[in-house]
Amino acid sequence: MRPSKPSIGWKKITESRLFFPIAALTLILLFDLIFIPGFFNITLQQGHLYGSLVDILRNSTPVIAIAIGMTLVIATGGVDLSVGAIMAIVSSIAAILMNPYFLGKVVVDISKFSNDPTYSYSPFWVVILVPMLVATICGLWNGMLVAYGRIQPMVATLILMIAGRGIAQLITNSQKIQIFYQPFTYIGNGWILLPFSVFIVAASTAWPGWLPAERPLACSLNRSGLTRVPASSAVSTRRTSNYSRICSVDFARGSPGSSAPPISAPRMPPASA
pLDDT digits (tens, 9 = 90+) for 23-57: 999 999 999 999 988 899 988 888 888 889 899 88
Provide the pLDDT for residue 26.
93
pTM given for the model? 0.70
**Segments of the chain with pLDDT less than 50:** 1, 223-235, 257-273
Type of residue found at 165: R
Query: By 3-state DSSP, what share of the chain in percent is helix, strand and coil, each rounded to 5?
Result: 60, 5, 35
Provide the pLDDT for residue 231.
43
Contact 243, 144 (CB under 8 A): no
Going 44 to 22 to 228 to 12, the CA torsion angle's sign is negative
Provide the pLDDT for residue 30.
93
Provide the pLDDT for residue 24.
94
